[in-house]
Amino acid sequence: MAKKLMIVASKGSLDMAYPPLILAQTAAALGMEAAVFFTFWGLDIIRKDRVDNLKVTPVGNPSMGMPAILSILPGMTGMATSMMKKKIKELGMPTIREMLKELKEMGVKLYACSNTVELMGLKREDLIEEVDDIVGATFFLQQAAEDAIVLFV
């Protein structure tokens, strides 16, 4: 039995921010060790200036059912984001910021990818305080090699 969950979060959209956090939360609730490794656009999820403003966009996502020519109009991404946030609230689901706090309390480790932190010119103080450390791919793979469930979102 794997006793650990290692998830890479590489997307910074509101819809794709939830799966890694929900899985990490579930793993922790099951008594597994869990860690989320934020890389590339996924860094948005742990950036102080962006975590509360993640967006879901109908642009390029045929599942949202909006014609492309309409999807690019000003306000459409904002509208889709508001609708998703409203639905999340109605269902009693936490916001992304609330989930991050909860994960931290449950002992889930939150890591920022050092390569992309550098690529985007970020500093430690640009990231939310819940972040445990800024680590490289070596650290990630060493952790992932120890009998873990490993996912790239």
Report in angstroms how near the CB of residue 92 gets to a copy of itself at its nearest. Answer: 10
SS3 assignment, position 31: coil
- Helix (H) or strand (E) holding 21, with range, is helix 14-29
> Could you give the string, one character per residue 107-126, with x where binding to a copy of itself holds by CB under 8 A and - elsewhere?
--------x--xx-x-----
Owner of token pair 């200036």: 49
- Percent helix, strand, coil in the chain, to 5, is 50, 20, 35
Residue with tokens 């490289």, as numbered in its chain: 136
74 makes contact with a copy of itself (CB under 8 A) = yes
Q: Would you tell me which residues interact with a copy of itself (CB under 8 A)? A: 1-3, 5, 8, 10-13, 15-16, 18-19, 22-23, 26-27, 29-30, 32, 39-41, 44, 50, 54-57, 59-64, 67-69, 71-74, 76-77, 87-88, 91, 93, 115, 118-119, 121, 136-138, 140-142, 144-153
